[in-house]
Each structure stands twice: as structure tokens, then as C-alpha cells.
Chains A and B, each alone.
Chain A
Amino acid sequence: MADTDRTLQSSLHLNIVKFFHENQASIDTPRGVSTWVREERAKVKKALEELVGMKILVAHRSTSTTGYSYTRNAKIISKIEKLLKKRRAA
């Protein structure tokens, strides 16, 4: 989780995680996510893949695009909830 904490120091990663935490039923492409977090698509795409590597997001890959959705792991979701609360309090 220390890794997660470090990754979420980046405002882009934090905003993406916040978006998926608040919209847990969402599945979106890098283009869609870049609209919601108001960031460049290339940067968002890189961050999304890093979050997939950390198992915070799930990648649904197809030949034409990749959709990203939030993890289904209750432990990870609860840890993210705590982290986000801590960030809000700070």
C-alpha cells in the first residue's frame, strides 16, 4: 500500500482513482477518462496502465480500444477509501 500511497501523490493518479472510486460502475477509454479528469490523453493512458499494474484498475482489452474500470477487490477499495479520506482531511 506504500506504493499506492506514493503513486497517489501524483495529482493525475489521484484524480483518476477518485473518478473511479466515485463512479464504481464506470468503464471508460483513455479518451473518456481524460475528459473527466481534464488531462492530456497520453498522460492519462500511461497513468491508467500504471494503476492497472497496481491492481487498482482493471483493463478490458479489445482490438479497437481498451476500457478501464475500477477494481472489484473489496480490500483495495477500502484502502483507497481510507487514503482518499486522509487526503481530504489534509
Chain B
Amino acid sequence: MEDIKTDKEYQKELFDRLKKSISLRKEEECFGVCLNSAIWWLVEQPYPKLSDMMKIISGTCPFLKGPGSVKKSGCVKLLWDIVKKCGRARTLIRFDCVEGLHGFVYPIFQGDKLYGYLGTCYTKKDVSPQVIDIFGAFTDAIVREVQKELELSKLYETIRPRAIALSTVHTVHRLIGSTLDMNELLPRVARLSLQIIRANRCSIKLVDSTKKLLLPKVTIDLREKKSKLKKVRIGNWSPGKAVKFGRPIRDKDHLATPLIDEDVIGVITLYDKVDKNPFTSFDQEIMATLSEQAVIAIKNAQLYKEQEKLTEGIIKSFATIGSTRAKGVYLPRASFLRIATLIGQKMKMSDRELKGIEYAILLHDAGQLVMPDNVLKKPAKLTGREYDLVKEHPVMGAEILKPMKSLKGIIPIILHHHENYDGSGYPKGLKKDQIPLGARIVAVVSAFEAMIARRPYRTARSMNVALAEMKTNSGTQFDPKVVQALLEVVSRQDIKTMLEKERYGGHR
């Protein structure tokens, strides 16, 4: 049935194009002159009925339109017989028309398939065999040309939607592959899924560590309905079943697609299509492709997070070793990491740069690890040579951290955190914007921390005294913008509370 329909459609399109074909019109004009005012007609069926022939011919032939036309129907019958004969013979057939006039019928084939006929009648001149040959070749060429056009347009219609779909898949791949932050990635996957499938709600759940539950990570409902984030037991409901059986679960109003890596790691569930139609197998295929890409992105993000935790752990251990080794090296507490981050935010630093600042705060004195004990732990005033040695600690710190490629970004901060804004610092004597912003922030934060921290060998200064000293040195030792940011940050109540809790600024 499908084939018949397709064939009929093809035939209709072929004749529509043939009728519009400029080449066919030219052929009619050209042979019209040769044949002297012929009547042209197209039969758009391989095996027409007599009644169809009557409609086609009587609409064009002046003889049939004339008086007594009803009695002239024998003429159409004759033509009908010739059409059938011509189809069987696969060749042009000439015939004698009425009133000493002439005509011929030419069958239109594509391969073995007969599609219809091109014919003339009422021609004043008979057709010579040479003209027949030329006409046949000409008509065949036109039919082939029209067929090619039709094939090309069909190919375009078939390929274009697939190419558009492929391009969409490629774009989605780039969009979800460009973030390593899970908090950004999952909402993005949900939004893209909603867009591609034209659904109203998307929920992404990930398998928990016990592998018994699905934990809700993100739900987006474009109808602005509030959705609860519900845990689902694996095996329950469609999302739970999709995870348990490792295959998509499709129903009229939802589609649950498992996220499969080596194991099932989660599920994307879409609900309610915008056009209210049921989810289709095509939707299922598209979601299978998208979920494959999402799994890679999720695994990358998880791996990145693990690596980041590992780096953070190493840095904290390193900083702790430093603080336990020497009397003069202290590990800044959580409040100072927070202060540094808030200052960085005020200076419009990216999340990555803020992380770098946090690491740099912990590691800025790493170079003191390789200082000789007699210098580092010396209770008395340092000699000039010893002080020169201490001044080398930023360079030493940078050298120690160099092999850790993931800390590449903070090495300039470590190297320059003792530079002064007016150029009087070390090791390079850089000034103003020559000093990396991170280093200017670490300089301010570490100096402020040193002033208000309690040390065994001296009492802590009060917050006001320390801030007054920071202001005094603003523009000479410190970047005024960073000092201003510090003043704003420490005036926040949450920061004051944190500092009090950690017993900074003389608080007991």
C-alpha cells in the first residue's frame, strides 16, 4: 500500500514538474511549427480509463468541442486504443486523426515503469520518421531532466532534516562538553533536552553511592510549575525502571532515558510534550544520543571535581606541614580564605581565579619550607645576609610548586606576593599593575592576618588598629583598591562573626 501511494505521489510530482518544464514548452513551440498547429496533451496515468481520456481530449480538441460532439466520442475510443497499444509497444505510434489530420502518442517511461503519455492530434502535417526520432530523443531528454530534478529535490528533502538534526546534535555536544562544573552542566543538559524534544518538564536524577536510590539533581518545568525534588528507589516508577533495566522507558506523557557509562549512573526524564502528542521512537533515539554525550560530560565533571578535591587536599597538607615546621609560619584560618575570595569577587575575578587566590593564601609562604632552620627559627634579629635569604622565599616557593601543573596559575602570585605597590618590594621590585592582581590581594590579606592573629611571641592588634595601619600603607605597600575592598569586606557582619569565632583581633 505504502509503495502504491509513493508511486502515485511520484507520478503526480513528475507530471507537475513536466507541465511546468520550460524545455517541454520549448519542444511544443518548436514541433508546433514543424507539425503546423498541433494540439498537445499529457495523460498522467499509465493505464487511463476511457472516461479519463474523454476528459483530457474533449477539453482541448476543437473537433470534439464542435457541434454533435457527443457522437464524436468514437474518436476518443480510437485514441484510447492507440494509447494502450503505444504503452505496450514502448514506442511512438502515429495515427490518422479526423478530417485528414494526423497525430501521434509517445509513452513516458522511467526504466521499466510506464508513467503516462505525451500526445498530439489535429496536426496538419504528417510526421516523418526523422522527425519522430528527433521528437523521441528530445522528449526522453526532457523527461530525464525532470526526473533528475525530482530525484535531487527528493534527496534534498531527505538529507536536509537529517543534516539539521546532526548539526543540532553537534551543537549540543559542544554546549555540554564545554563545562566541568556539575552545577552548570546538569541544568544545561535539562534545558537542551527540553528544547530538542519540545517537552515541558525535565528531571535529572543520579544514582547514589549505595546504588539503591536515585537522587534528584535538577528539575526544570517551563510551565513555571513548582516541582518537588523527589528521591526515587531504583526499580520504582519509570525513572527507577529505566535505571534498573538499563533501557529507555517510554509512555504517552513521559520518556525516561538512562545515563549509561560502564554502569547506569542516572536518568533523564522528560514529561509532557508541548504539542500534547505522545513521545515517539524518534524522541527516544534523539534522547539516547543526547544521554551518551551527557554521560561523558558528567563523568568529566565528576573526574574534574575529584581531581580538584585531591589538589585541594595536597595543598592543605602542604600548608599544614609548613605551619608545623617553623615558628613563624602560620596557616590562615577559614575566615581569611573567605575574605580573600570576597575581595577577589569585588575585583571581578572568575571562579577559577578565586580558587587560585584561595590556594595562594594557603601556599604563599611555601618557600619557607626550604629555609635553613637556624634562620627560620632564629629568636634574635636577622643579619643582613640572613634577611636576604628570607627574601628569597617567594622565589623558592614558586620553584617548589612549579612541578604541580595544576597550580601553574598561582605561581606568579606566590612569586610576587612581597612586591610593594610603589615598587619597593621584592624579588623584582615590580610596581602597581605590573604586580599580578592575585599577588596584590594576597599581600593585603596576609599582612592583615599577621597583624590581627595571636602569636606566641606577641599579642594580636585590634581590628581597628590593623585597619588603620592598612590604610596608612595604602598606595605605598598596598594597592589602594584592594585595601578599599578589604575595608568593605571586613565591615560585613558575617565576616566579623567568623573572625571573632576564630579569635582574631584579640578576641578571646
Residues of A within 8 A of B (CB): 23-29, 32, 35-36, 58, 60, 62-65, 67, 69, 72, 74
Contacts and interface: CB of A to CB of B under 8 A. Distances in A.
B373 to A, nearest CB: 47
A31 to B, nearest CB: 9
A35 B167 CA distance: 10
B178 A65 contact: yes
Given A24-B198, A28-B168, A72-B222, A60 B175 contact: yes
Contacts of B161: 23
Contacts of A32: 167, 170-171
A77 to B, nearest CB: 9
Contacts of A27: 168, 171-172, 175, 192, 195-196
Contacts of A24: 198
A20 B274 CA distance: 16
Interface of B: 161, 164-165, 167-168, 170-172, 174-175, 177-179, 188, 191-192, 194-198, 222, 274
B195 A64 contact: no
B167 A64 contact: no
A10 B8 CA distance: 40
Contacts, number: 63
Contacts of B172: 27, 67
Contact of B179 (A26, A63, A74): A63
A25 B198 contact: yes
A58 B198 CA distance: 14
Contacts of B198: 24-25, 72
A30 to B, nearest CB: 10
A28 B167 CA distance: 7
Contacts of B195: 25, 27, 58, 60, 69, 72
A7 B179 CA distance: 34
A65 B274 CA distance: 27
Given A60-B188, A60-B192, A65 B171 contact: yes
Nearest to B222: A72
A24 B274 CA distance: 11
Given A28-B168, A72-B222, A63 B178 contact: yes
A60 B171 CA distance: 10
Contacts of B177: 64
Contacts of B188: 60, 62
A36 B159 CA distance: 12
B168 A26 contact: yes
Given A25-B196, A28-B164, 20 more contacts: A23-B161, A25-B195, A25-B198, A26-B164, A26-B165, A26-B167, A27-B172, A27-B192, A27-B196, A29-B174, A32-B167, A60-B191, A60-B195, A62-B174, A64-B174, A65-B175, A67-B171, A67-B174, A67-B175, A74-B274
